[in-house]
Amino acid sequence: MKTSITAKTSLNPEVESKLNKQVRMEGISAFYYLSMASWCENRGFVNAAEFLYDHFEEEKMHMLKLMRYINEAGGHAIAPEITNLRYEYGSFREVFDQILEHEIAVSRAINNLADFCFKEKDFASFQFLQWYVAEQREEESVARRLVELFDIIGEEGQGIWLIDQEIGKMLQQIKAERAAEGEEAA
């Protein structure tokens, strides 16, 4: 039922639908990272687990930001149902290979959504999505660096332990950058 708040809106119903699909993708991302964090923590990769718990919170914030935008624009944001999560991984590296693949998929989805909004002349949504476009470039860069650690350090001997230590350092750097930018550090 439309209320007086949502009775009049310039939000195109197709844009609203696609924004809600992105809400779902961000929700999947959040719980994907939560599942990975638990897997890592269970195997003693405490820094990787902390990194992924932090990433869970960040992805959850991305989902909420989209939901609030949709609602404020007069649409109806739909809380996503999250199913079919993966809980097991063959190796520590596989977790981070999956993260990189996932971040690339999210980047493509954001770019396609921004492109659609532009073509529909929904410039408010297009402008709103520019934050996500920039954010995804950062997410992919971090994911690539995480995978590179496995190639540079190697997994033999103390390699996995060193990789986990480097992930902890990366998390501290990310938190410091957020603080410097005035964002809430998780």
Convert the pLDDT of each residue in 88-107 to its tens digit. 999 999 999 999 999 999 99
Residue 28 corresponds to which tokens in the numbers above? 């999947």
Position 182 scores a pLDDT of 79
Residue scoring higher pLDDT (9 or 155):
155
Contact 29, 102 (CB under 8 A): yes
Convert the pLDDT of each residue in 4-50 to its tens digit. 554 567 799 999 999 999 999 999 999 999 999 999 999 999 999 99
- Per the listing, tokens 């718990």 go with 53
- Per the listing, tokens 């996503």 go with 80
What CA–CA distances, in Å, run from 57 to 41, 120, 122?
16, 32, 29
Position 2 scores a pLDDT of 54
Other CB atoms within 10 Å distance of the CB of residue 28: 20
- CATH homologous superfamily of domain 13-81+89-180? Ferritin, core subunit, four-helix bundle (1.20.1260.10)
Nearest to 2 by CA among 123, 64, 20, 11: 11
Q: Kindly report the pTM of this predicted structure.
A: 0.88
**Extents of the domains making up the chain:** 13-81+89-180
> Is residue 184 over pLDDT 60?
no
Lowest mean pLDDT among 41-45, 98-102, 121-125, 176-180: 176-180
Position 3 scores a pLDDT of 54
Kindly indicate the confidence band of residue 178, based on its pLDDT and cuts at 50, 70 and 90. Answer: confident
Kindly indicate the confidence band of residue 117, based on its pLDDT and cuts at 50, 70 and 90. Answer: very high
Other CB atoms within 10 Å distance of the CB of residue 99: 24
Q: Phi and psi of 64, rounded to 5°?
A: -65, -35
Convert the pLDDT of each residue in 61-73 to its tens digit. 999 999 999 999 9
- Residue 58 exposure: Cα atoms within 13 Å on the Cβ side: 19
Position 185 scores a pLDDT of 41
Looking at residue 128, what DSSP letter applies? Answer: H
